[in-house]
Structure 1
Amino acid sequence: MKMPQLRSSKALPLQIVLVVPFVLQIFGTVSLVGYLSLKNGQRAVNNLAEQVIDRTSNVVDEHLQSYLSIPQTLNQINADAIKRGILDVREQEAVGEYFWDQMQAYDLSYIGIGLTTGEGIGTARYDGRTITIDDWVARQSNNTINYATDRRGRRTRVNYRWTWNSFSEAWYTEPIAAGKPIWKIYAANLPNGPYIAASASRPIYDSQNRLLGMIASDIHLLKLNDFLNRLEVSQSGQVFLMERDGTLIASSGTERPFTLVNRKIHRLRAIDSSNPIIQTVVQHLQTSSGLQSITQHTDFRLEIQGQQHFVSVVPWRDEYGLDWLLVISVPENTFMAQIDANTHITIALCLGALVLALIMSVLTSRWIVQPILHLSHASESVAAGNLEQTVEKSRIRELDTLSNSFNHMANQLYQSFAALEQSKAELEDRVEDRTAELKNTLIKLQHTQIQMIQSEKMSGLGQLVAGVAHEINNPVNFIHGNLDPVQEYTEDLLKLVQLYQQYYPNSATEIQRTVEEIDLKFLQQDLPKILNSMKLGTGRIRQIVLSLRNFSRMDESEFKAVDIHEGIDSTLLILQHRFKAKSEYSKIELIKNYGSLPLVECYAGQLNQVFMNVLVNALDALEESIQRTHEEVKSQPSQITIRTSVLSEEWVEVAIADNGSGMPEAVRQRIFDPFFTTKPFGKGTGMGMSISYQIVTEKHGGKLECYSIPGQGTEFVIQIPLQQKVLI
């Protein structure tokens, strides 16, 4: 069929229709983006500068609030301790070690006291690292000694001596005159170099409110310098602190807040600083409104050395008299450089997009729509995972080649994915098998490690306990065995003395004098009591030695029939000190509900170790629940209950329970896992209960179970057979 001939009309070429509107659109977009970038740049600079300055101001404020509160708080604690008699200022060596411990805990430069007697003691970190002790007396010449210290705060050697008159120093006189906590910027040229610090001080009194002197805690101003140096404001920004009179306290630069002139320390005024930013900002503040009139946060812009700077001034005060000004200066070009660079990049990208769009529009004008659409749909199907796709051939050679290539690629992808799926399945099977092998190997390794550690631990403990018991047993038996003859001989001698007094009442003067000097009557009454006390003491030692030997069971390499109660009592005797009352918690009551148990075949030493682990956990749980009030402890005292019973003809049961805080279900389920512990680092290894579980279940064929209710306590139940059927 012959197609009708269409009349040709004048029309724009498709390339022009596609290219011209697209180019105009991109050109308009580039122009608009450039204009908006320039308009919003300054606004972004202002917002970013405010954010940086506010963030820096908040960081400095939080640091000053937390860091400068430490000296005053520490002074309050020490003053209260002195007033209550807990800290005796007359024992200067003990006070020095006490302050040494506090210097270990707090990042301070000095802690010390000056007394009204002219004496004093202090600990210092003059070089910022090493803690030394200063000790001075009332005399005026070389009255102060600086000591080096060891790791426990004890004095080891004299570093140097110098003369110090505390009565003439503002460090001492100003807090005494104020009669309350104050701050003072204090400077001194000490033998080891210049020392300038913010000193928090206050007077101290005894329990009768009599003045003893004063106490002070210092922070070296260079520590504030170091903190400001670490602030990342900008490469050319500045942060500094100054007093209301313009004296510099600290800055983020390398300049120190003081100078040395003829070995005398002179504090640096901010307006005299070598830093042009600090000098210009302070000069502007003094000429515009005055430093004393700044009472609230003030922001302004200032030109410094031809550059615009954002400047923020924030008053900073505390309740003890500090009244400082925090000044933050950030140059405008810090932000404009990045914004200008971003603007240039944006314009370059837009121009690049314009050129690329022009090229793409020329290329796309030559397409042939239908074959490409078929190819696109087939590609989307392949991307979606449907690899069984084919594209019909085209009459155009290039598109026909592309179609053939696509069909070949789709077929290759289909075969490759099929092979990949098969390899994936085989790999997953191998990984699962290998994972199972590694898991079993890890479990065996953990069990082996636990067994080795337990063996070494029990061997060392048994040898130590048995050796100590053996060495103590011989002399104690010797003393205890000779006490009865000594007591008998003593009674005979006392009877003989009484007979002499009865038949010879009028003895010689020298004998009578000796009788009075030695107080014979009291001796006759007290000597038998002393012998009885010695006998009770040696008997107690023999009982402890017997308990140690029973606990260690070093003479029993095979399991044998033993008295379970005897092992429990031996363990309790070793842990007896843990049941006694201490300053931080009350006495722990022990309740024993023993049943009538026959002899049980077991490894006695290992079973005693199980009792030890369970009892120690119970004691730790009770000691950790000391936060209870006095009324709660009185109504429900801390208790450990031990219950033994016969379950059947073949089994016995030992239950150990405490009324502590208990444990959550998640912790209870993991209590027997190796290396699992809830105790702080260094206090527990997480192996005790795992080893106990292994001893009970594997060594004795028994059961070890844990029951716990949060807030009510925990109970461990041990069940073992009376006789072992298989020798392990």
Structure 2
Amino acid sequence: MSRTDSRKVKAFPLQLVLIIPFTVQIFGAVGLVGYLSFKNGRQAVNDLADQLMNRTNTIVQQHLDAYLSIPHKVNQINADAIAMGLLNVRDRQTIAKYFWKQMQAYDLTYIGLGLTTGEGLGAARYDGKTVTIDDWSAKLPNNGRNYTTNQQGDRLHINNTFEYNNFKENWYTEPMKAGKPIWSRIYTWNSPSGAYITAATGRPIYDANQRLLGMVGADIHLLKLSEFLRRLDVSNFGQVFIVERNGMLIANSSKQETFFVVNDEVKRIKATESTDPIVKNTAKYIEQKFHGFQSITEQKKLELKLLKETQFLYVTPWRDQYGLDWLVIVSVPENAFMAKISANTQITILLCLAALVVATVVGYFTSSWVIQPILRINRASQAMASGNLKQTVNIGHIAELNTLAQSFNYMAEGLRQSFTALEKSKAELEDRVEERTAELKTALSELTRTQAQVIQNEKMSSLGQLVAGVAHEINNPVNFIHGNITHLSEYTQSLVQILHLYQECYPDEDPKIQALAEEIDLDFLIADLDKILPSMKMGTERIRNIVLSLRNFSRMDEADFKTVDIHEGIESTLLILQYRLKEKPDFPGIEVIRDYGNLPPVESFAGQMNQVLMNILVNAIDALEESFFNSQKSTPEKPQITIRTSAIDGQWVEIAIADNGTGMPEQVKNRIFDPFFTTKPVGKGTGMGMAISYQIITEKHHGKLDCFSTPGQGTEFRIQIPVKQ
């Protein structure tokens, strides 16, 4: 906008601009503080409730882990004692007294065992205080006896008789069917001392020979879980209850019971039918929200509007390794925390309003004092905008505005110097850009020309040096070993003859010599020695042949045309690649089919010709491996490479290398000899192998290199070169 246009814009006095935003900000801050105070209060309530419920939930889970592990520990102790032979299941008096002693140490309702013969016994606390002993035989009916006991656990007299069949009781049949420690069903019964709800555990028992003897079991109080929940701090204003996945109440922290008695029979209550309204409505809400209790697999944090009041809910699955799968539900009302926070929020809002009035008055007088230095800086900046860079601002009485004025003066001076330096740098930069651009163009052109040549030379030079060096280093020690094996064989035979002659001349053997001969198995040693030396000689001959093939492949001493045997080059290349052709644990190996014709000696660059054969064979191996793994190792035929050679009119030779892989599509085949074109992933192929091979055949040997491929039927490369160059 021009200077003339800027004067037409409606402007406001600086003092008004300072006061109004300041007042609006204060008003906004006051409102925001009030709002945040209320929000923070609610957040504090949520955090406090969350911490309380999380701590309560943790305490309940820890208690369940500890309390419900007791019967399984007792079963483990008893099963181990029987397996180790410390307890004899046939000694009924001793085992009954042993169970009686355990009942004194553990708060359980029953400890017992049932045998596969139908017999069994146990120690019970039916009235919640006195421990009695049950003992039953396998002969029905009226096969059981209940005994009173003295202070030492000895049987005194029979209380009553009963009929009992192990094979019809869940506490026996379920662990035996499972074959491992588990929880059986929850049992209820009524006695003169009150109602009982217990959970039964059981595990199979075996003797020292791992023969199944029966099972041991233990029952634990579940009503005592409710007593524990009522002692929690949260129970003073909230509710904690535990339900099974079918909705049946296990325990709760309210004074309402988890059961009722009808006709002297104890009936358990569903959480949705509880007489406690909080438990009932909470359970209904959870059941409706998650379509039952079965679908809850992780901890849930919920809010429920109940009786015009918000309830915070924690629903946590609890499981153990023996089959129990319960839900622990913690419910806490919001108003237990919110009353004091609401009062604090009101006080905060009143204080903020008072601060707003005071801040507005102070802002009016402060703006009048601040405006004058700002106006001076404004006038100086307008002058600089008009092109007059020689501007300075006088120092006032406000430290911050003085700093601003000094910064303005320093900026004005720096701006003047920058304009001068910028003009000089512009010319220098243009010259440097032109010079650098020319250098980059030259370097790029040179790099493009030499890159293909460098890759080819370095690849073959490194491979040739490595192969020739390895062949040379291996050849000397192998020749040394091979040459000495003949002498070693002769020396060994002479020593064996002397040994046989010694045994014939001195039939009375010395005991020490006889002991040593038996220790080293002299007869076997002599017999095996005749086999080892020929095997060693055969191995060194094999190594010498491999070294000769490596030297033929490298051809480091042949830089000019030379008459060579094409078949020898092919075999040397196959030997180098033998490790990739062999069968592997995840790959069936590649079969090489040789169909060699009668070829005359051919003039060629032997090393470069070997490079072409290597490139084509490596690509064929890669194609077969990729085809095998992409077809999930279900190819209908074994991977094969066919090598066919033939002479054409006595003037040319043809080498055809074909594989039975998946072949190449037309768009890939048309670019196979382009430099840097590759279908392999980054780092596995450079895209130069076939381009260099094409150059070697067509330019170096004045021949032809063609590719024939049909998708699904494999690929064939045909090399044709003249016999004479």
Structure 1 length as normaliser, TM-score? Answer: 0.41
TM-score by length of 2: 0.41
